[in-house]
Amino acid sequence: MAGPRPVVLSGPSGAGKSTLMKRLLKDYEGVFGFSVSHTTRKPRPGEEEGKDYHYTTREAMQEGIDNGDFIENAEFSGNLYGTSKSAIEDVRAQNLICILDVDIQGVRNIKKTDLDPIYISIQYVLADRQTETEESLQKRLEAARQDMELSKEPGVFDVVIINDDLDKAYEELTAILIDEIKKVQEVKS
């Protein structure tokens, strides 16, 4: 695949991945892009084909998975979701750094491909959310525990960022990505 190296971001819910990504997109406009995932679920009101998701049938998606067309996939609530190689290539063809926000299963799947992304784990000391039910909190804590265990395995992530200070975490993130950012900016200038 040609173009800048993709970035795989992973981490538990509440770790600040979305906040950090939004800041990257704002500060480095025209440098990053997102691949459009595939799903077998029906579109929700206001969602657009090719913008929010590529909507497909279970049969077609399963065939693509079986053929190795997807770098990662998972099933949630009876629907398949996944990132195709072609969706990443579409972003890279525009000379953009493709950002993938995936869970632990996605990281493991991507590790089996030839994608060669920069793997970044965003971790956070979980704060108590007053609006959360006990069941929701326990599920989130268990997912975070699993995520933190994976982030300690040697060779899984290129870097682990502890987001206990958003500005510091953002500085660490941009320092890791600056070489790829400069490559994109040089081509565009």
The sheet carrying 70-76 orders its strands as: 54-55, 38-39, 79-84, 70-76
Among 44, 92, 108, 145, the active-site one is: 44
93 SS3 class: helix
Lookup: tokens for 159: 């870097």
Among 58, 108, 129, 145, the active-site one is: 129
129 catalytic residue (yes or no): yes
State whether the Cα torsion 47-108-17-94 is positive or negative. Answer: negative
108 catalytic residue (yes or no): no
Among 5, 23, 41, 140, the active-site one is: 140
Nearest to 9 by CA among 176, 137, 184, 141: 176
- Rounded to 5 degrees, what angle do the CA atoms 73, 55, 99 make? 50
Q: Where in the sequence numbering do the catalytic residues fall?
A: 44, 129, 140
